[in-house]
């Protein structure tokens, strides 16, 4: 049947659907198809001129979907058979009628309509060229206009003018659309033809469009053509240099979008399965505005503007605000990172631990990220510099995520695999995760794409269009997922295991989790906000991304230095020691503690420290008695007894306030090997007594992680 209607069920009740006329055909159109079929089979009984006249008339009427497909078939079969100028005009008129606005609702329901549109362009271009070539005038622009298609061309004289008389040929209509041919190539031309299609954009399918673009444009869900389509052909056909391109001027309707990404694209309609591409065409920003776009192209074919309307559309003022937030914020972040690294370098012997090592590496990665984020705005004007900045940003951002993963792994080792400790083999893995894997990802991505996608027209970052952004999103997602799993494991163990609560590492991990809970969301949520910046409705997330991305270094400095009790104590004691030495008497106190005397003020300060040190010494002596029996026979026992004895001797002289100061400083400032050894032997009973201090779990982790 030609007409169908579906019967649907709605809560058990039958409901009729819409009437389907897709298989309906007008009798006149059916007759046209039969005539063309006989003509195509070699029968000369049918007059081509009469067929085209009938086609023009019937295409003006209301048509069914199958009628439109049939008329395109008639035009395809007759495009090379036109003999007179009237035939060619009727052909162009029929093409204009079939793509008119009043046929738009019919076209919407036709599958593969973009391919039918290509057939219309191909046939119309051919007959437009023949129409121009058969005109009597030479050296004059010839036009033929219909409501939806405008033809404009010129035949050039055989005798060419001398070089100084050469001028650009401007095949432009009344509103300025068309083609400008540079003067340097006009002496090579015999004929030039321009056809403007003003309504074909309204019948194209955006769903089909995304599957008909090549990798120079990149397929996305938000591609659209809202410009006129201008077809330009020449005889003979040739390419021009980039310094003297053909200028294709197109009218572009971007109503509802502010600064969408626009691409000068072309297609070869006469070639089957041809795709939209942009190679050889560039957008001339200086000569373009919101209404008219100029493309500089080195070849001839059919041209249009393809817009990607997915990105956040920013006004100039919004762009300036975001760039200011990013630049100022990254500068502040960089200062925080530099101060954090400086504090750890100056007091490294007091704070060194696996956690401190990972933090310093993380700070280096974030610091370089801030540097290149600041340079990104400047680099946009230089394509090569922009490409380099994008690649370096890719590397250091991935590295920051890598070191965050190392921090999660370290928490796992300290609590879940408490007896393993952090050994040298772990650091090889950490460095590979933090620096090696990011370098490998960037190298492979850059090599596979030949640098394409590193840097776009709007930013020096990874391109979304060619899917390169997944070289960042994929690894970042895996790191966030892995750290989430580690946190769940750590928190479950801390809440349920009474045995773990008795271990010395418990307090370290608890404070480590507190600090990491602050840092992980900074990196994770920052990029979640970045991914959510798709359109104007989510512009708020663009601002959140700029703020959070800029605050990383400042927050790291705040929580790991300013609010870190160990750092504060070290700075305070270091300041007191330098102040004492500057008086000229501090030197004698440390060399001859027994003969030293103190003022009442110093006695008060020293007594507070002595109370803590006496308590610490007593605890160590009690614990050492238990360890002796537990660690008998192990090689690390002697080292442990020496460590405890040394600490006891350091605290024997606390009766003097000045000596109390000295003991306190010695305890806080002494090499971490002894302190790390104590925690290490408590868990391993001395069996790894020969491990280096940097590989052992350190008590410095506790103070370093405290918030």
Q: Is the pLDDT of residue 670 over 70?
A: no
**Average pLDDT for 376-390:** 84
Residue 384 has pLDDT above 70, yes or no: yes
Hey, which CATH number is domain 316-567, 1.20.1070.10, 1.10.260.40, 3.40.30.10, 3.30.300.130?
Answer: 1.20.1070.10
Q: Which residue has the higher pLDDT, 432 or 553?
A: 432
Task: Find out whether 339 and 553 touch, Cβ atoms under 8 Å.
Answer: no
Lookup result for tokens 């762009």: 319
Q: Is 125 exposed, middle or buried (0-12, 13-18, 19+ CB in 10 A)?
A: buried
Residue 253 pLDDT > 70: yes
Residue with the bigger pLDDT between 57 and 218: it is 57
Distance CA 674, CA 646 (A): 10
For residue 481, the number of C-alpha atoms closer than 13 Å in the C-beta half-sphere is: 6
Alpha-carbon dihedral 122, 124, 126, 128, rounded to 10 degrees: -150
Measured CA to CA, the distance from residue 179 to residue 190 in angstroms comes to 16
Q: Domain-by-domain residue ranges, the chain?
A: 21-111, 124-311, 316-567
State the pLDDT confidence band at 97, using cuts at 50, 70 and 90: very high
Give the per-residue pLDDT at 90. 96
Confidence (pLDDT) at 690: 38
82 pLDDT higher than 70: yes
% the chain with pLDDT above 70:
66
**Residue 274 in contact with residue 267, Cβ under 8 Å?**
yes
Q: What is the rounded average pLDDT for all residues in the chain?
A: 75
Tell which wins on pLDDT, 389 or 319: 389
Res 516: pLDDT: 54
Q: Give the residue-averaged pLDDT of 232-249.
A: 87
Give the pLDDT of residue 111: 87
Q: Is 620 in contact with 612 (CB distance < 8 Å)?
A: no
Name which residue leads in pLDDT, 295 or 511: 295
Flag whether pLDDT at 574 surpasses 70: yes
What is the per-residue pLDDT across 493-517, written as a single tens digit (0 to 9) for each?
A: 766 655 545 555 556 566 555 555 5
Confidence of residue 595 (pLDDT cuts 50, 70, 90): very low
As a whole number of angstroms, the distance between CA 17 and CA 1 comes to 16
Cα dihedral 473, 474, 480, 481, rounded to 10, equals: 150
Confidence of residue 293 (pLDDT cuts 50, 70, 90): very high
DSSP 3-state assignment of 464?
coil
- Chain centroid to Cα 683, Å, comes to 46
What are 26-72's pLDDT values in tens digits? 899 999 999 888 877 766 656 889 999 999 999 999 898 999 999 99
pLDDT at position 526, please?
60
Segment 92-97 shows an average pLDDT of 96
Query: Residue 541's pLDDT is what?
Result: 55
Are the CB atoms for 558 and 627 separated by under 8 Å?
A: no
Mean pLDDT of 139-146: 92
Q: Which pLDDT value is given to residue 484?
A: 76
pLDDT of residue 107: 93
Please say whether the dihedral angle defined by the alpha carbons of residues 210, 215, 218 and 223, taken in this order, is positive or negative.
negative
Cα distance between residue 539 and residue 84, in whole Å: 58
pLDDT score at 527: 60
pLDDT at 315: 58
pLDDT for 475 beyond 70 = yes
Cβ atoms of 39 and 77 within 8 Å: the answer is yes
Beta-carbon-side half-sphere exposure of residue 157 (alpha carbons within 13 Å): 7
Q: What is the pLDDT of residue 52?
A: 94
Residue 649 pLDDT greater than 50, yes or no: no
* Predicted local confidence at residue 407, as pLDDT: 82
Q: Please state the rounded mean pLDDT for residues 10-38.
A: 83
Q: Which helix (H) or strand (E) holds 282?
A: strand 281-283
- Per-residue confidence band for 171, with pLDDT thresholds at 50, 70 and 90: very high
* Interatomic CA distance for residues 444 and 450, integer angstroms: 10
What pLDDT does 610 receive?
46
Please state at what angle helix 113-133 crosses helix 65-78, rounded to 10 degrees. 40
User: Would you say 392 and 443 are in contact if contact means Cβ atoms under 8 Å apart?
Assistant: no
Q: Higher model confidence: residue 64 or residue 466?
A: 64
Percentage with pLDDT > 90 across the chain: 28
Tokens read off for 241: 């240099």
Is the pTM value of this prediction over 0.75?
no
Rounded to whole angstroms, the Cα distance separating 307 from 224 reads 5
pLDDT computed for residue 113 by the predictor: 92
pLDDT computed for residue 544 by the predictor: 65
Q: Please state, in angstroms and rounded to a whole number, the distance separating the CA atoms of residues 74 and 87.
A: 13
The Cα 593–Cα 552 span in angstroms is: 46
Q: What integer is the mean pLDDT of 471-498? A: 76
Task: Check residues 370 and 122 and name the one with the higher pLDDT.
Answer: 122
CATH class belonging to 124-311: mainly beta
Strands (E), 131-260: 141-145, 149-155, 169-172, 178-181, 191-197, 223-225, 229-235, 246-251
Tens of pLDDT, residue by residue over 395-404, are 998 998 899 8
pLDDT greater than 80 at residue 20: no
Topology at the third CATH level for domain 21-111: 1.25.40
- Eight-class DSSP state of 162: P
pLDDT at 40: 72
Tokens of 94: 């029929």
Is the C-alpha dihedral spanning 684, 689, 695, 701 positive or negative?
positive
Higher pLDDT, 645 or 343: 343
With a cut of 70, say whether residue 105 has pLDDT above it: yes
Give the chain's end-to-end CA distance (angstroms, integer).
78
Which own/partner pairs from 319-323 qualify as long-range (CB within 8 Å, at least 24 positions apart)? 322/542, 322/543, 322/546, 323/377
Q: How confident is the model at residue 696 (pLDDT cuts 50, 70, 90)?
A: very low
pLDDT, tens digit (0-9, with 9 covering 90-100), for 174-194 = 889 999 999 888 888 899 999
Q: Are 248 and 292 in contact (CB under 8 A)?
A: no
């Amino acid at each position: 049947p030609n007409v169908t209607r579906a019967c649907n069920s709605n809560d058990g009740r039958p409901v009729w659907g819409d009437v389907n006329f897709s298989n309906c055909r007008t009798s006149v159109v059916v007759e046209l198809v039969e005539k063309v079929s006989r003509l195509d089979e070699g029968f000369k009984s049918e007059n081509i001129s009469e067929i085209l006249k009938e086609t023009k008339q019937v295409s003006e009427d209301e048509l069914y979907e199958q009628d439109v497909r049939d008329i395109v078939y008639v035009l395809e079969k007759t495009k090379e058979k036109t003999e007179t100028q009237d035939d060619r005009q009727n052909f162009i008129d029929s093409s204009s009628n079939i793509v008119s606005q009043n046929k738009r609702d019919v076209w919407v329901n036709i599958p593969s309509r973009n391919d039918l549109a290509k057939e219309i362009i191909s046939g119309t271009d051919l007959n437009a060229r023949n129409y121009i070539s058969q005109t009597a005038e030479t050296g004059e622009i010839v036009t033929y206009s219909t409501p939806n298609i405008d033809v404009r061309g010129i035949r050039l004289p055989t005798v060419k003018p001398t070089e100084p008389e050469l001028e650009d040929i401007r095949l432009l209509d009344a509103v300025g659309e068309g083609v400008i041919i540079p003067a340097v190539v006009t002496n090579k031309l015999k004929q030039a033809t321009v056809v403007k299609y003003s309504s074909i954009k309204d019948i194209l399918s955006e769903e089909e469009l995304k599957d008909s673009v090549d990798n120079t444009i990149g397929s996305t869900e938000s591609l659209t053509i809202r410009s006129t389509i201008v077809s330009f052909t020449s005889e003979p056909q040739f390419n021009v240099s980039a310094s003297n391109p053909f200028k294709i001027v197109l009218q572009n309707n971007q109503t509802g979008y502010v600064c969408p990404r626009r691409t000068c694209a072309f297609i070869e309609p006469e070639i089957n399965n041809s795709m939209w591409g942009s190679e050889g065409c560039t957008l001339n920003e200086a000569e373009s505005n919101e209404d008219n776009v100029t493309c500089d192209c080195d070849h001839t074919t059919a041209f249009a503007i393809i817009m990607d309307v997915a990105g956040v559309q920013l006004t100039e003022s919004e762009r300036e605000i975001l760039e200011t937030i990013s630049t100022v914020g990254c500068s502040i972040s960089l200062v925080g990172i530099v101060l954090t690294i400086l504090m750890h370098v100056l007091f490294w012997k007091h704070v060194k631990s696996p956690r401190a090592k990972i933090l310093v590496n993380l700070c280096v990665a974030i610091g370089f990220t801030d540097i290149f984020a600041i340079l990104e705005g400047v680099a946009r004007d230089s394509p090569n510099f922009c490409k380099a900045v994008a690649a370096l940003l890719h590397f250091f951002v991935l590295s920051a995520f890598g070191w965050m993963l190392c921090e999660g792994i370290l928490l796992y080792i300290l609590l879940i695999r408490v007896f393993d400790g952090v050994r040298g083999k772990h650091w090889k893995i950490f460095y590979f995760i933090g620096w090696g894997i990011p370098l490998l990802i960037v190298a492979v991505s850059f090599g596979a794409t030949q640098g394409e996608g590193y840097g776009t027209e709007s930013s020096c970052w990874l391109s979304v269009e060619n899917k390169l952004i997944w070289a960042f999103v994929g690894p970042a997602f895996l790191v966030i997922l892995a750290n989430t799993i580690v946190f769940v494991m750590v928190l479950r163990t801390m809440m349920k295991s009474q045995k773990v609560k008795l271990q010395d590492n418990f307090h370290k991990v608890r404070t480590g989790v507190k600090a990491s809970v602050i840092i992980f969301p900074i990196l994770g949520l920052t990029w979640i906000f970045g991914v959510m910046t798709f359109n104007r409705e989510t512009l708020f997330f663009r601002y959140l991304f700029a703020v959070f991305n800029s605050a990383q270094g400042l927050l790291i400095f705040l929580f790991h230095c300013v609010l870190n009790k160990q750092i504060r104590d070290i700075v305070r004691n270091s300041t007191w020691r330098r102040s004492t030495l500057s008086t000229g008497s501090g030197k004698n106190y440390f060399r001859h503690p027994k003969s030293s005397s103190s003022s009442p003020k110093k006695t008060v300060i020293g007594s507070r420290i002595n109370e803590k040190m006496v308590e610490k010494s007593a605890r160590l002596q009690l614990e050492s008695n238990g360890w002796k029996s537990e660690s008998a026979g192990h090689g690390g026992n002697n080292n442990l007894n020496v460590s405890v004895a040394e600490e006891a001797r350091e605290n024997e002289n606390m009766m003097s306030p000045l000596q109390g100061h000295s003991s306190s400083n010695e305890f806080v400032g002494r090499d971490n090997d002894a302190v790390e050894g104590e925690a290490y032997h408590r868990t391993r009973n001395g069996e790894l007594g020969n491990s280096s201090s940097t590989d052992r779990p350190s008590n410095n982790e506790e103070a370093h992680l405290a918030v």
